[in-house]
Amino acid sequence: MTIKYNSLDCDFLCSEFPELKNLITAENEWLGENLPHCLFGNVLNPIVVRLLKKDDYKTNSLLERIFGMYEKFAEYGDTETKNLLQVTLLEYLWDEHITYSRALQLMGERTKEINKNIADYLYVPKKS
């Protein structure tokens, strides 16, 4: 069961996160075409960062489902899907120590493997 990059569209994201449908469709309409890096990054990154900064991040069901999807991308994604995961979704979490360290706690093993690739070109954020 390969997850193909060209299947990562508004419908895919809405099926994974129906509670975000209004946000997803608004972003998709604004983009005007299927641009998975933009759609996934613009919708998910701000939500993930905001939720990781909350005290209940370990028990937040939406965050758990998002990281579950990341793990599926890492395990079953084609090359372009894994690139989306690494470059658009995981790199974003390297901006601050709190998001980086908390995200590591929620990542599955395959996601962690892809996340390690980022250390080749970015520094691990330090505590401030």
pLDDT for res 124:
87
DSSP 67-112: HHHHHHHHHHB-HHHHHIIIIIIIGGGGSSHHHHHHHHHH--HHHH
For the chain (length 128 residues), average pLDDT per consecutive 10? 96 98 97 96 98 98 98 98 98 96 98 96 86
Q: Which tokens go with 103?
A: 């995200």
pLDDT for res 18:
98
Contact 100, 124 (CB under 8 A): yes
Please state, in angstroms and rounded to a whole number, the distance separating the CA atoms of residues 10 and 105.
28
Q: Which tokens go with 99?
A: 């998001």
Contact 33, 18 (CB under 8 A): no
- Tell me 55's DSSP state: T
Report angle CA 100, 23, 103 to the nearest 5 degrees: 10
Q: Report how far apart, in Å, the C-alpha atoms of 47 and of each of 24, 52, 53, 60 are.
A: 12, 8, 10, 12
pLDDT for res 79:
98
